[in-house]
Structure 1
Amino acid sequence: MYNTPEYPSDPHSVDERGETRISLVVAPGQHEHVRLDKYLTVMVKNATRNKVQEAIKNGWVLVNGKKEKSSYPVQPNDQIEVTLPIPPPPEAAPEQMDLNIVYEDDDLIIVNKPPGLVVHPAYGNWTGTLVNGLLHYADQLSDVQDDMVRPGIVHRLDKDTSGLLVVARNDVAHNKLADQFARHSIDRHYLALVWGHPDDSGTIDAPLGRNIRDRKLMDVVEGGKRAVTHYRVIERFDHLSLVDVTLETGRTHQIRVHFAHINHPVFGDATYGGAAVRYGPSTGSRKQMFENLFKSLGRQCLHARVLGFKHPRSGEQVTFEAELPDDIAHVLDMIRKQCKPGP
């Protein structure tokens, strides 16, 4: 449970003694009567059942100020305090890496991230990340977060989502960019291939939180964080639709979970139901084509293609666009050749 320096719960802090303190309040109607160890395994990122049980046994977990057993059923409004000693994270090291730099100046770098690349070091991925490559490439990155593993990082993309990221080279630029993200004034367009035929345009307004059964997944949950996705259909095929997606908020896995929620999962997304033939023939050459495309793509068909914001120094609106990566371009080429235009 304390192998990672990063915890998602708020508020949390690391004090001068090297301890992480996590405060949780059980939300009514969400996790009632779940075992204490299972609740913490779900709510604390990178926690394992064994580490949680060890923490409870060692007295590092208090429920309403008292020690409880792992089997204790959490109750609505229970206040849970966790205090854990944690090792310091290893400082991210520079690594030679081929980076696709779209633009750079004294304040920022625009990177076209390839699929399969983790943005910053974290539990299970301490090396080989975009940050490692940036440390080798750039002579300076922002460090306003006082975080040795996330210098310059203003926002993130999922490992298997490709596309544009802005990286801050100094603290002033970082703060101004982060403020724009916080105010939802960043212009972000994603290209997604989804199953079925959603409305020509629409808004998905559904709160997101961690899946109670699998802490690695996100889900639409009552009482979750506000999440709003807007979309517009660009092209239709007989079983699929190509959509332009804009984000009003930027939650973890937001686009993928939202489209799965409305029964139009992103093509190729094995995590949220998009890597199976959802519409169309269940046998035959068409089904085989889709399955071959799943294998060749190996990820969700999702690309962050446009990124626009006010430049932190000049205040001028700047917009960048990334070409489609080869794997998505191949999928679209095959579908345009093999699938009929949709309704």
Structure 2
Amino acid sequence: MQEVIISKNDANQRLDKFLLKAYPNLKTSAMYKAIRNKKIKVNRKRAQYDQKLVEGDVLLLFLPPDLLEKETKKIQPAKKLDVIYEDDQIVVMNKPAGLLSMKDQATEQDTLNDRLLSWLVANKRYDPNVEQSFTPSIAHRLDRNTSGLVLAGKTAQAARDLSLAIAQNQVHKYYLAITDQYPKQGLIELYLKKEGTRALVSDRPKDQYDLAKMKVKTLQQKDGLYLSQIELMTGRFHQIRACLAYLHTPLWGDLKYKGTPNKKGYYLQAYKIDLNDTPFHQANVVEIPKSKQIHLEFNQ
């Protein structure tokens, strides 16, 4: 028999969700059978698979030891992580262009998410040997060659709140983009559909196409290049890249969307995040320092 005390990061989730995360050897069918047969109890009472766990709950697990073996969490050696903002709930990082947000294959890869975990462990913000079901993770992704701000929750509740705020468009994101043609200004409304590794665009509603909204404001012009701020009002796949290309002003260097080639690829940076409409309003507006923002002199 094993006794488990539910911690703050384990609370506010269903019993079955907790068990599947905490015990990778415990398969779904075996877990539900054990709950039905009273082999899993909460506070010494019969458990329900969908009951919400509360901090301080005591689980009694009358199961074979091999089903209760914990997974050893592999933490990569610490690598550089550019942290722009941190408080008790969230971390905001500046992802460099060329770095994956998360793994896209089973082999070992250098990713922002792994760097985050290494940084949290090294700075004693997270202990994988103490946590039972919670592993910090980035709350959203940027394309590999897009740089800029990425959010992560440091607690389970913060991670849930971040995910919900992003889904409800309460996190306001602003990008900097470089084109070699003057882009359309103001509100842009188009319709996007993901197909493979590209986004298809329509100027009118179509089946399986989702509304994509953003605002464009050109800030600077120099030597035939244009630096624009883009406020995302929806978060579709390749939204900025595909919409600008559809309007005949693709990102300079974005070959996937027929941009003019340059040696260093395209320039797109998530440079500012407004959190005032979220539970994390204490962070206010987080912005990459001016010295790290993309500008028209990058390739001059």
The answer to whether the superposition gives a TM-score over 0.5 is: yes
* Alignment of structure 1 residues 288-303 onto 2, 5 Å: 294-295=262-263, 297=264, 299-303=265-269
Give the corresponding residue for 1:280. none
2:235 maps to which of 247, 250, 261: 250
Question: Secondary structure at 1:206's aligned position in 2?
Answer: strand
For 1:141 and 1:246, locate their aligned partners in 2 and report how far apart those are by CA, in whole Å.
37
Deviations 1:265-285 (A, max 9, x none): 001112111133xxxxxxxxx
Q: What is the one-letter code of the residue matched to 1:191?
A: L
Quote the RMSD (CA, aligned, Å): 3.0
Q: Deviations over 1:229-250 (max 9, x none)?
A: 2111112346332110000011
C-alpha spacing 1:209/1:244, structure 2 compared with 1 (3 Å): same
Amino acid at match of 1:208: L
| TM-score (normalizing by structure 2) | 0.65
Query: What TM-score do the two structures reach when normalised by structure 1?
Result: 0.57
Q: How does 1:237-276 map to 2 (within 5 A)?
A: 237=222, 239-276=224-261
Structure 1 residue 161: Cα displacement: 0.7
- Determine which of 280, 285, 289 is the counterpart of 1:319: 285
Q: How does 1:61-140 map onto structure 2 within 5 Å?
A: 93-123=75-105, 126-138=108-120, 139-140=125-126
Equivalent in the alignment of 1:304: 270
Q: Mark the runs of 5 or more structure 2 residues left unpaired by the alignment.
A: 1-26, 30-71
Letter in 2 for 1:332: E
Where do 1:24-63 residues align within 5 Å? Answer: none
Q: Kindly tell me: are residues 124 and 147 of structure 1, through their superposed partners in 2, closer, same or farther at Cα, counting changes over 3 Å? A: farther
2:152 is the alignment partner of 1:167: yes
**SS of structure 1 residue aligned to 2:178:** strand
Contact map agreement 1:107 1:312 (CA 8 A) in 2: no
Q: Which has the larger radius of gyration?
A: 2
> Using the alignment, how far apart are the partners of 1:323 and 1:239 within structure 2?
25
Q: Which residue of 290, 297, 300 maps to 1:332? A: 297
Equivalent pairs: percent with the same residue?
26
Letter in 1 for 2:114: N
What SS is found at the alignment partner of 1:316? helix
* 1:334 Cα offset (Å): 5.0
Post-superposition shift, 1:194? 1.2
Q: CA–CA distance in 2 between the matches of 1:121 and 1:141?
A: 22
Structure 1 match to 2:4: none
Cα–Cα, structure 1 residues 92 and 311, in superposed 2: closer, same or farther, change >3 Å? farther
Partner of 2:217: 232
> Which amino acid in 2 is paired with 1:218?
A
Q: State how many pairs are aligned.
A: 220
